[in-house]
Structure 1
Amino acid sequence: MRMTYDYVVIGAGSAGSVIAARLSEDSSNRVLLIEPGGRDRNIALIMPLLFPTLRTSAFDWGYQTDPEPFADDRVFPAPRGKVLGGSSSVNGMIYSRGHPRDYDEWAAMGAHGWSHDEVLPYFKKSERNWRGEGPHHGGNGPLHVTQGRSDEPVAKAIRQTARSMQYRVLDDFEAGDPEGFALPDSTIHRGRRASASKAFLAPARRRPNLTVITGAQVTKILIEGGRARGAEYVREGRAEIAYAGRDTILSAGAYASPQILLLSGIGPAEHLREIGVPVTLDLPGVGGGLQEHPLVPMGFALKRPSRFTGRMRADRLALSVVEWLLTGRGTPAGVPISSFAYYKSHPGIARPDLENVFIATNVAARMWFPGVRAPVPEMLTSLNMVLRPQSRGFVRLRSADPLAPPRIQLNFFQEPEDLRLMRHALRWTRDFVRQGPLADFVGEELSPGADARTDAELDAAIRRSVTTGQHPAGTCAMGGGEDAVVDPQLRVRGIDGLRVADASIMPRLIGGHTNAPAIMIGEKAAAMILAA
């Protein structure tokens, strides 16, 4: 089959859903959106409480890293959403932009036009924040952003302890400097997940000029005479072609966008020849510069039962599900986060370099009932992340087979500074939970365990427990240097009519979570494409 459109958008994730929706606002534009996953109708994609079940479901690509040489040669899962909305349909629904200086740093690295003041209008354009329109937030955008809440006594104790230790307790992480403690906003609307597909794509699908194809995996970009002409893809075992009269926009994410470029012969020539892919353009930066937040969990026994555990009793949860179905309220309408903290490893740096997420439950919490199934032990969970890791990984082809998963190498802790920062984070958390009112709630350290004290013991514990923050970025980096893949207009260097717009274009991983920035990238990309 051969079809012709003005714009072909590859990937219906956080950025791609936005781009397709915005381009189709002009009825003269014929827009095709190609998504390898299926529809986002499953209740697990809608009910916020169920999001932990999605990482090993049919809605995930099932990617894994190669053995990680600086983390005991462990193989890590690398979750990414395979469904309309992409990872915005399977993530933890946290609305986070990072630090304003993150974007100023992008501009200083050659991403002209991407400073904080220049991207803020696109954050605001996308957003319908519960606070309403203001200097930091949008009030009329498609993406509903709601207030984070927790009635757990331990959450109050965390805030009180933070104040007693002279940390800032904030009302809004996005109102300037995010250093401090707060509950983050959530991409939840009326108790349902507000994914990019629900917020942007669902209202746009009624437009006759927008075509959305699901279950279709792009195998290569069509390049003729140095210009992208569209994409080849496979659907139901049959090869099809979609032609783009104007632009082809690649929004497949930090793993799949470089994979598709490589399959199209765009990337490091030596690697392409080694795999057996004909070289279209030697572009060394494709797939390099992979950045991801290393995350190490800690667990502490709780001296008092959490309210969340009580609500997970089978009969109570069943009633709460009925309440959720009827009103959008109840336990299924949220996630049990107690606090976020962005903090500095030492006071002389300009931005927080560490993040802590406190959760007032065991991450293995489950439904239970007296005499039938016991609840898991009460626990205060702490997730520790290094926000701007120095280590760099890569994405490469495993073979010339376009349906084979890519090679992913994170190289966590390749740079010793990342390991030092994580060691500092674990010691910081240990100290924090023994202070102020929080100390009355927290008992024994369950993981990694109080016996891990020396640098060597902590390093060993970190290597055996580290996992990903699920925020990959940087594999098609934007800038003006030799390793840049796209220019500040997101145009692939050396190929006309081809752009990349997703988290892969970040020159440096932001100090926060990546869903909201990916949506912003989609907004700004669409505006630049329409202006051109």
Structure 2
Amino acid sequence: MQIYDYIVVGAGSSGCPVARGLSDDPRNNVLLIEAGPASDRFWVNTPAGMGKLYFNKSLNWSFRTSPMEKLQGRRMYWPRGKLLGGSSSINGMVFIRGHQKDFDGWRALGNPGWGYEDVLPYFKKMEHFERGGDEYRGANGPLWISDPVVKEKSSYDFIEAANRIGIPVTEDMNGALHDGVGFMQHNIQDGQRMSTYRAFIEPVIERPNLTVRTGCELQRVLFEGRTAVGIEVLKSGRLERIYAAREVILSAGSLKTPQMLMLSGIGPRAELEKHAIPEVLNSPGVGQNLQDHFYIHTAFRCTPDSSYNANLVGLRKYWEGFRYLMTRKGYLALGSSQVAAFVKSSPDEDYADLQISFRPMTFQYFPDGTVDVEKHPGLGVSVYQLRPSTTGTVTLRSTNPSDPADYTPNFLSSDYDINAVISGVRWIRKIMNSEPIKSRVVSEELPGPHIRTDEDIYNYLVETGNSAHHQGGTCKMGNDAMAVVDERLRVRGIERLRVVDASIMPFITSGNTNAPSIMIGVKAADLIREDAMARRASSSPVETVG
């Protein structure tokens, strides 16, 4: 019989730090499982390799939404990492904590211990900020955070243009001033991606009390009554049962965690009955409250010296490759975007509800799933709506754990959301038509000068709008009837089972969600260790789920 004190399911952005924190106590025996393979591959470690991972089905769950009624029935592509490090091993490496009021808002919804002053110590604890520590930043943590190794002149001009129209410049959007415009930071160290696996697990992989297993796909959680006692996994075509003497921790992400809870008998009663799943607990909030940042992309032709596209195509890309191999610097060492501007869609907003991201390069996507840099000089600018008013759902498609769930995001289902995103497109144009960035622009390619009215822009949103891949909220934390976990991330109504990933967010944060997902894992480790449940008797567990 395989028995560990703690079983952590999912070696991603939250799972790796929680496993690391639990194994810091040598008295704890910790198992970390991952459905995907190891992550030590060149294009995973190389920041510019993210384009090659976007459609890589061996390292990516490659989910798709259900047809979206408000978006012409389109099925949106949702990549999620399926390897050690999870989505932190395939994402754009952008590090943005979120606004201070996000976390104060979590606390105000009945979650003591989750206000900004409560989570700031965990952000500081987890990071090594290359500029050094201060009141807001940490310098001794395992996760390296760096500024772009190359800062293009066009990026400086974008910042200056935004400032000239009233957007304040922030030198550190993870510090005192979040709402403003400035260079982004990335989880990159010495030109290589710093995933949560590399930061939190790899340095301690030899610990005798930490076991990491890949290729283990969770099938269900095992119970005695309403107490979680272990898990069942599929490994190399065979079912294995592994037992937890203390707790099972689900860190499979906002799309997989609610699916696994429902397949294990925890979820809305109607959903369980629909699929003839024996009920362990009627938990109506499981799979509800799905949130994401709706994303609109714009693109501009520009002068040759304004974009680094030319350095990544033709013969020059081989020079860049050589330069990277020799120095770990250059354009292959950059994250997905250089600059962000946080602005309000309306003066009525309490704080910025739009994130505008600028990059001095542009991609093109091909029908065969490959992604490449465009040959002509281009500037890419995108906008995310940070606080959507509508939510979606994760529901079951079948009782087969290998089948993706049904994802229904309900994008553009309210006038509030539509007006916010339209405002975001207008903000982009306002900045790009301001000096000094204006002098670098040759023409607007997307959406194009023919898209002028609000109705035109709305149609562009419907036809091209996408996901920023920042899903969260599907097992929300709180004390209301729809809350799945309490403020200590314990599944309500269940013993010895916690959820530790972005699904616990009552609402998603103002910015890329990887940084707060990591913080959740770091904080959760402390919560679990503080609670320190006594070990269960290890003999003959009796399961109530067949």
TM-score (structure 2 length as normaliser):
0.94
**Does the CA-based 8 Å contact 1:85-1:195 persist in structure 2?**
yes
TM-aligned CA deviation for residue 396 of structure 1: 0.8
Summarize the Cα distance change of 1:338–1:528 in structure 2 as closer, same or farther, 3 Å threshold: closer
Tell whether 2:161 aligns with 1:166: no
Give the aligned residue type for 2:456. E
1:34–1:213 CA contact under 8 A, matched in 2: yes
Equivalence for 2:84? 84
CA 188–323 in structure 1, closer or farther in 2 if over 3 Å, else same: same
**Alignment-derived partner of residue 512 in structure 2:** 513
> Which residue of 2 is the match for residue 288 of structure 1?
288
In the alignment, is the contact (CA less than 8 A) between 1:36 and 1:214 conserved in 2? yes
Q: How does 1:200-211 map to 2 (within 5 A)?
A: 200-211=200-211
CA separation in 2, counterparts of 1:335 and 1:119? Answer: 25
Supply the AA of the counterpart residue of 1:147: D
Residues 296 and 465, structure 2, Cα contact 8 Å, conserved in 1? yes
Partner of 1:370: none
Q: Return the offset for 1:437.
A: 1.2
**Distance between the aligned counterparts of 1:469 and 1:365, measured in 2?**
16
Q: What CA deviation, in whole Å up to 9, does each residue of 1:401-442 have, x standing for no partner?
A: 121111111110112211111111111211221112111111
Kindly state the Cα deviation for residue 209 of structure 1 after the two structures are TM-superposed: 0.9
CA positional deviation for 1:110: 1.1
Q: In the alignment, does 2:109 pair up with 1:112? A: no
| TM-fit CA distance, 1:364 | 2.3
Distance in 2, Cα, partners of 1:339 & 1:258: 34
Please show how residues 146-225 of structure 1 align to structure 2 within 5 Å. 146-225=146-225
The CA distance in 2 between the partners of 1:338 and 1:95, in whole Å, is 11
| Structure 2 stretches lacking a partner, 5+ long | 367-371, 532-546
Residues 235-291 of structure 1: CA deviation (Å, up to 9, x unaligned): 000000110010100000000000100000100011111112111110000000000
Residue 336 of structure 1 deviates from its aligned partner by: 6.1
**How far 1:322 moved relative to its partner?**
2.6
User: What corresponds to 1:455 in structure 2?
Assistant: 454
Amino acid at match of 1:457: D
Q: Note if contact 1:216-1:235 (Cα within 8 Å) is conserved in structure 2.
A: yes
| Correspondence for 1:500 | 499
Return the offset for 1:365: 9.2
Q: Which amino acid aligns with 1:424?
A: S
Distance 1:332 1:377 in 2: 18
2: CA distance, partners of 1:307 / 1:29? 51
Q: Provide, for residues 496-529 of structure 1, a one-character-per-residue CA deviation record: whole Å limited to 9, x for no partner.
A: 0000000000001111111110110001100010
Residue pairs, 1:233-382, within 5 angstroms: 233-335=233-335, 337-364=337-364, 376-382=375-381
Query: What amino acid is the match of 1:46?
Result: N
Which amino acid in structure 2 is aligned with residue 397 of structure 1? L
2:393–2:474 Cα contact (<8 Å) kept: yes
Whether contact under 8 Å (1:343, 1:355) holds in the other structure is: yes
Task: Give the distance between the partners of 1:316 and 1:150, measured in 2 at CA.
Answer: 17
SS at match of 1:436: coil
TM-superposed deviation, 1:470: 0.6
Give the whole-Å Cα distance in 2 for the aligned partners of 1:218 and 1:509.
Answer: 26
Paired amino acid for 1:509 = I
CA contact (8 A) 1:100 1:177 kept: no
Separation in structure 2 between the aligned mates of residue 243 and residue 421 of structure 1, nearest angstrom: 48
SS in 1 for 2:507: coil
Partner of 1:432: 431
Q: Cα 1:41–1:527, aligned 2, differ >3 Å: closer, same or farther?
A: same
Q: Tell me what 2:482 maps to.
A: 483
How big is each residue's C-alpha offset from its partner over 1:136-160, in whole Å with a ceiling of 9 and x where there is no partner? 1111000000113543221121122
Mapped partners of 1:151, 1:109: distance in 2: 40
Query: Relative to structure 1, is the Cα distance of residues 307 and 462 closer, same or farther in structure 2, using a 3 angstrom cutoff?
Result: closer
Which residue does 1:386 correspond to in 2?
Answer: 385
Structure 1 residues without counterparts, runs of 5 or longer: 367-372
- Please tell me whether the aligned partners of residues 309 and 378 of structure 2 are also in contact (alpha carbons under 8 angstroms): no
1:375 Cα deviation from its structure 2 partner: 5.6
- Mapped to 1, the partners of 2:402 and 2:335 lie a distance apart of 35
Task: Work out whether residues 336 and 360 of structure 1, in 8 Å CA contact, stay in contact via their aligned partners in 2.
Answer: no
For 2:55, the equivalent position in structure 1 comes to 56
Asked whether the equivalents of residues 472 and 504 of structure 2 are also in contact (C-alpha less than 8 Å), the reply is yes
CA distance in 1 between counterparts of 2:415 and 2:245 reads 48
User: What is the DSSP-based 3-state SS (H/G/I as helix, E as strand, rest coil) of the residue aligned with 2:364?
Assistant: coil
Asked whether the 8 Å contact 2:259–2:396 carries over to 1, the reply is yes
Amino acid at match of 1:128: H
Mean Cα displacement is larger for which, 513-522 or 343-352? 343-352
Q: Structure 1-normalised TM-score?
A: 0.96
Distance 2:352 2:410 in 1: 22
Q: Which moved more, 1:431-440 or 1:515-524?
A: 431-440
The alignment partner of 1:260 has SS state of helix
**Aligned length in residues:** 525
8 Å Cα contact 1:285-1:483 kept in structure 2: yes
1:471 corresponds to which residue? Answer: 470
**Residues of 2 paired with 1:76 and 1:515: CA distance?**
20
| Comparing 303-312 and 407-416, the one that deviates more | 303-312
Residue aligning to 1:19: 18
Q: What one-letter code is carried by the residue in structure 2 that aligns with 1:43?
A: F
Task: Sort the Cα spacing of 1:320 and 1:31 in 2 relative to 1 into closer, same or farther, 3 A.
Answer: same
Q: Which moved more, 1:338-347 or 1:467-476?
A: 338-347
Contact map agreement 2:94 2:335 (CA 8 A) in 1 = no
1:45 corresponds to which residue?
44
| Equivalent pair of 2:163/2:181 in contact (CA under 8 Å) | no
Who is 1:401 aligned against?
Answer: 400
C-alpha deviations, 1:366-411, integer Å up to 9, x for none? 9xxxxxx996222211111101111100111101112111111111
The residue type equivalent to 1:51 in the other structure is: M
Counterpart Cα distance in 1 of 2:358 and 2:320: 24
Cα root mean square deviation, aligned? 1.6
8 Å Cα contact 2:181/2:339 also seen in 1: yes
Structure 1 residue matching 2:64: 3-state secondary structure? coil
- The equivalent residue for 1:137 is 137
How far is 1:169 from its partner? 1.1
Q: Deviations over 1:441-489 (max 9, x none)?
A: 1132211122122222211110111110010000000000000000000
State whether residues 476 and 485 of structure 1, in contact with CA within 8 Å, keep that contact through their aligned partners in structure 2. Answer: yes
1:52 & 1:427 partners in 2: Cα distance? 28
Q: State the one-letter code of the partner of 2:282.
A: D
CA distance, structure 1, for counterparts of residue 356 and residue 160 of structure 2: 16
CA distance in 2, matches of 1:374, 1:183: 22
Tell me how far apart the structure 1 counterparts of residues 329 and 39 of structure 2 sit (CA, whole Å). Answer: 21
Q: Secondary structure at the match of 1:364?
A: strand
Q: Kindly, what percent of the aligned residue pairs are identical?
A: 38
Determine if contact 1:309/1:365 at 8 Å carries over to the other structure: no
SS at match of 1:14: coil
